[in-house]
Amino acid sequence: MPLLNLSLDLSLNPINFIQPGAFKEIRLRKLTLRNNFDSLNVMKTCIHGLAGLEVHRLVLGEFRNERNIEDFDKSALEGLCNLTIKEFRLAYLDNFPDDIIDLFNCLVNVSSFSLLSVYIKRVEDFSYNFRWQHLELVNCIFQQFPPLKLKSLKRLTFSKNKGRNHFAEVDLPSLEFLDLSRNGLSFKGCCSQSDFGTTSLKYLDLSFNDVITMSSNFLGLEQLEHLDFQHSNLKQMSEFSVFLSLRNLIYLDISHTHTRVAFNGIFNGLFSLKVLKMAGNSFQQNFLADIFTDLNNLIFLDLSECQLEQLSPTAFDSLPRLQILNMSHNKFFALDTFPYKHLYSLHVLDYSLNHIGTSKNQELQHFPSSLAFLNLTQNDFACTCEHQSFLQWIKDQRRLLVEVERMECATPLNRKGIPVLSLNITCQMSKTIIGVSVLSVLVVSVVAVLVYKFYFHLMLLAGCIKYGRGENTYDAFVIYSSQDEDWVRNELVKNLEEGVPPFQLCLHYRDFIPGVAIAANIIHEGFHKSRKVIVVVSQHFIQSRWCIFEYEIAQTWQFLSSRAGIIFIVLQKVEKSLLRQQVELYRLLSRNTYLEWEDSVLGRHIFWRRLRKALLNGRPWSPEGTVGAGCD
C-alpha cells in the first residue's frame, strides 16, 4: 500500500473523526496536527488513533503563534511508543516539562528528530544512545550547550538558539554535516577533531556567532568541503596557515569576520578551493599582496568592502580558472587592468562603488578576452580632457559594461550627474601650450643636429679639458693622404726622427692603438699628445674627405690650444681651382706662411732648416727632448 500525505487541521475539532484503530490499514506519509480549542486532548486522541501505523513524518505542535497550550501535559505524547515513525518534529511549545525527554525513548529508532521553538531546561538527556541520523534544534532556549553523544548521528542543525553561549565539546563520530550558525556561541579554541568528536565532517557552518579563536589548523578534519565563518569574530586568523590541512575544501566564507590579512600564507594548502568569500575584512596598508598562490582551482572570489586601495601586479597570476571576481565597495581611484591579464577564464568583474575616475594606464588592453560583464557603476568619473581616452573607452565598451547608462560624471561640478555616454567633450589645446611644444621640439632638434655635426669637435674639447696640463708624447702629428705615404716615410720621417735634434712624430700607421675607432685615435693619440700638427697638402689631400676632416679637427684643436700649432707643407703645386673648393684651406694658405717642397740640393737644405726651426718653436729643452705642454 503506498504512503499517503495527510494533513489534519485540528482547529476543525475532528475528535469524533479520529478514533483508536481508525487508520490501521493506512500508512501515512505525513501527518500534521495543529492547535484547536482542546489541543492536548485532540493530540492525545490522534496519536492513539494512529496506533500500529507506519508514519513517515509526524509533526506536532502549535503553528499559528496563538499559544493556546499553556501547560503541556506529557500524557498527550504517551501513544508515541505505539507508532513506527521515521521523521518526528515537535514545534512551538513554550513550557516543556523537565521529564518529557523520557518519552523520547519511544523515538530511539527515528531517523530524523526535530525541535523547533521549544524551551528545554534539561539537556543532559540528549546523551542517550539514540539512533538518530539527523537532529535539528532550531530557535530553542537552552540553559547550556547540550553535551551530545550520538554515535549514529550524521547531520546536526543547531541554529538560532538562545541561552549559554559557550560551545562544549561533543562526541559525534559519524557526523558529516554540522550547522552551528546564528547562536552567538564562543569558541576558546577552533578547530580540530577533538572539538566535534568526528573525522568524517564535510560541512561546517559557524557563521553569525561570537568570538572564535583559531588555535588549530583543522587537524583530523581533513575531509571538510564546506566551511562558513561569516559574521563571526575570528581571532588569530592571520598568524599562521590556518587552513593548511584542508586540501579537500571547496567552499570557504570568512566574510565580515574582523580579519586583518597581514600574513601572505593565510590560504596555503587550499588546493581544491573553488569559492572564497572574504568581504568586509581588511588588509595591511590596504594592499592586496600575492596571497592566492595555492588557489589554482578557484572559480569565485569576493573581495568587496575590504578598503583596498592597491593591488600587487601579480596578485591574481595563480588563478587561471577564476570566473567571478567582486572588487566592489573598495577605495580604488583608478582602473588598473594589468593584474587581470592572466585571468584567462574571467567572466564577471565587479568594480562598482569605488572612487574610480580614470584608468591607471591609458591603454586598457590587459582585460582578458573571456570577460563578458564589467560593472563600473557608482564611481567618481572625472569628465575632463585629461581623461578623454578613458571616457572614449567606456563608450566603445558599452556592450561589456553593466548598466552603462548609470555611469555618471562626478567632476567637474558643471558636469556632475551627466551620463558618461551622453558626454561630448571637445578638447582644444591652448595656443600657449602649442607654441611651447613646437619651440621645445625645434630646440631639441637643433641641439641634436649640432651635436651630431660637431660630435668630434666636442670630443676634442673634452679631451683638452681633461688632458690640458699633461705632457706631450710627440713633437708633431702628421696629417697626409695615403697617396703621399712614400714621401712621408722616406723623406719626412727619415730626416726628422733620425736628424739632429731628433723629433718624434705621430703617424697613424705606426702609433694608433689597434681596436680603437679611427676618430678616437686621431683625437686622443694624434692631437692631444702632440705639440704641433704637420699638414701635408697635395692634390690627393684636397680630394680626400678623410684628410679634410682631419684638417677641420686640426683647426678646432688650434683654436682650443690658443697657439699657432699648424705647419703647412705644400708637397706639389695645386691647381687653384681645386684648392678653392676648400675655402677655409685656401684662405689659410693665402694669409699664412707655409713650406714648399723642392727636390733640389739647395731647396732641400732650406726646407729642412725652416721645418726644424718651426718644430723647435715653443719646445722646452729636456735631456730626452720630448717634453712640453698640451692644450691650454
| All CATH 3.40.50.10140 domain ranges in the chain, comma separated | 471-616
**Residue from 257, 319, 256 nearest 292 by CA:** 319
pLDDT exceeds 90 at position 350: yes
**Whose grid coordinates read 697617396?**
483
Predicted confidence band at 246 (pLDDT cuts at 50, 70, 90)? very high
pLDDT of residue 231: 97
At residue 349, what are phi and psi to the nearest 5 degrees? -130, 120
Calculate helix-pair angle for 455-467, 545-561, nearest 10 degrees: 40
Residue 115 to residues 35, 48, 161, 389: CA-CA distances in angstroms? 17, 21, 11, 63
**Could you give the CA distance from residue 91 to residue 140 in angstroms, rounded to a whole number?**
10
In the predicted model, what is the mean pLDDT of the chain? 80
pLDDT exceeds 80 at position 24: no
Q: Do 74 and 97 form a contact (C-beta atoms < 8 A)? A: yes
Contacts of 226 (CB under 8 A, 6+ apart): 202, 203, 204, 205, 249, 250, 251
Predicted confidence band at 30 (pLDDT cuts at 50, 70, 90)? very low
Q: Which amino acid is at 602?
A: L
| All CATH 3.80.10.10 domain ranges in the chain, comma separated | 237-426
pLDDT of residue 546: 77
pLDDT exceeds 60 at position 228: yes
pLDDT exceeds 80 at position 209: yes
What homologous superfamily does CATH list for 471-616?
Toll/interleukin-1 receptor homology (TIR) domain (3.40.50.10140)
pLDDT exceeds 90 at position 36: no
Of residues 129 and 248, more confidence is placed in 248
Reported pTM: 0.64
Q: What is the pLDDT of residues 177-188, one digit of tens each?
A: 999 999 999 998
Question: What would the mean pLDDT of 567-586 be, rounded to a whole number?
Answer: 69
**Residue from 311, 319, 312, 313 nearest 293 by CA:** 319
pLDDT exceeds 50 at position 146: yes
Lowest-confidence region among 45-54, 371-380, 541-550: 45-54
* Grid cell for residue 56: 513517515
Of residues 552 and 385, more confidence is placed in 385
Q: What is the pLDDT of residues 107-141, one digit of tens each?
A: 888 899 998 888 776 666 566 578 899 999 999 88
Report the range out of 115-119, 162-166, 627-631 with the highest average pLDDT. 115-119
pLDDT exceeds 70 at position 208: yes
Q: What is the pLDDT of residues 267-325, one digit of tens each?
A: 999 999 999 999 999 999 999 999 999 999 999 999 999 999 999 999 999 999 999 99
pLDDT exceeds 50 at position 14: no
Predicted confidence band at 428 (pLDDT cuts at 50, 70, 90)? low
In CATH, which of 1.10.340.30, 3.40.50.460, 3.90.850.10, 3.80.10.10 is domain 237-426? 3.80.10.10
pLDDT of residue 21: 43
pLDDT exceeds 70 at position 583: no
Lowest-confidence region among 37-51, 300-314, 385-399, 404-418: 37-51
Of residues 315 and 566, more confidence is placed in 315
Predicted confidence band at 10 (pLDDT cuts at 50, 70, 90)? very low
Query: How open is the CA angle 237-239-242, to the nearest 5 degrees?
Result: 55
